[in-house]
Amino acid sequence: MPEMKNITVVGAGLMGHGIAQAFAQKGLPVTLYDLSEELLAKALASVEENLGTFVEMSLETPEGAAQALGRITTTTSLPSALKKADFVTEAAPENPELKQELFGQMDRHAPEHAILASNTSMLSISRFGSEVRDQGRLIITHWFNPPHIVPVVEVVMGQGTSEQTKEAALGLLSRIGKTPVLVNKEIPGFLVNRIQTAMFREVLSLLEMGVASAEDIDRAISGSFGLRLSVQGVLKTMDLAGLDLMLKGCSYLFGHIAGGTEAPEVLRQKVAKGELGANTGQGFFSYGQAASGAADAPPGKARDKALLTILKALREGKA
> pLDDT confidence of 289, banded at 50, 70, 90?
low
| Domain finish residue from 183, 215, 247 | 183
Q: Is the pLDDT of residue 4 over 80?
A: yes
The radius of gyration of the chain's CA atoms, rounded to the nearest angstrom, is 21
Same domain, 177 and 229: no
> pLDDT confidence of 202, banded at 50, 70, 90?
very high
Same domain, 75 and 152: yes
Query: In Å, how far from its chain's centre is CA 290?
Result: 28
Range of the domain at 52: 7-183
Report which DSSP code applies to 295.
B
Which of 269-273, 288-292, 301-305 has the weakest average pLDDT? 288-292
pLDDT of residue 319: 58
**Residue 229's CATH number:** 1.10.1040.10
Same domain, 170 and 210: no
Instruction: Walk across the sheet containing 7-10 and list its strands.
Output: 72-75, 30-33, 7-10, 87-90, 115-118, 138-143, 152-157, 179-183
- Spatial distance between the Cα atoms of 190 and 173, rounded to a whole number of angstroms: 18
In 3D space, the residue among 57, 74, 67, 86 whose CA is nearest the CA of residue 24 turns out to be 67
Same domain, 16 and 164: yes
On whether residue 1 sits in a domain, the answer given is no
The predicted-structure confidence for 35-62, as pLDDT tens digits, reads as follows 999 999 999 999 999 999 999 999 999 9
Same domain, 69 and 123: yes
**Residue 38's CATH number:** 3.40.50.720
User: Do the Cβ atoms of 29 and 6 come closer than 8 Å?
Assistant: yes
In one-letter notation, the amino acid at residue 314 is: L
On whether residue 14 sits in a domain, the answer given is yes
Same domain, 210 and 293: no
Same domain, 95 and 25: yes
Number of domains the chain contains: 3
Mean pLDDT of the region 142-159: 97
Catalytic amino acids?
121, 142, 154, 193
The predicted-structure confidence for 91-127, as pLDDT tens digits, reads as follows 999 999 999 999 999 999 999 999 999 999 999 999 9
User: Do the Cβ atoms of 8 and 117 come closer than 8 Å?
Assistant: no
> pLDDT confidence of 129, banded at 50, 70, 90?
very high
Same domain, 152 and 252: no
- Spatial distance between the Cα atoms of 302 and 19, rounded to a whole number of angstroms: 19
| Domain finish residue from 183, 216, 244 | 183
On whether residue 73 sits in a domain, the answer given is yes
Single pTM value for the model: 0.91
On whether residue 160 sits in a domain, the answer given is yes
Same domain, 97 and 232: no
On whether residue 2 sits in a domain, the answer given is no
On whether residue 200 sits in a domain, the answer given is yes
In 3D space, the residue among 83, 73, 87, 100 whose CA is nearest the CA of residue 12 turns out to be 73
Residue 157 is inside which H or E element, if any? strand 152-157
> pLDDT confidence of 314, banded at 50, 70, 90?
confident
**Best mean pLDDT range from 63-72, 180-189, 302-311:** 63-72
Mean pLDDT of the region 172-191: 96
Same domain, 173 and 61: yes
> pLDDT confidence of 297, banded at 50, 70, 90?
very low
On whether residue 189 sits in a domain, the answer given is no
Same domain, 236 and 157: no
Mean pLDDT of the region 9-32: 98
The predicted-structure confidence for 240-275, as pLDDT tens digits, reads as follows 999 999 999 999 999 999 999 999 999 999 999 999
Q: How many Cβ atoms are within 10 Å of 53's Cβ, its own excluded?
A: 20
User: Do the Cβ atoms of 39 and 29 come closer than 8 Å?
Assistant: no
On whether residue 188 sits in a domain, the answer given is no
Same domain, 159 and 13: yes
Sign of the alpha-carbon torsion through 52, 89, 147, 45: positive
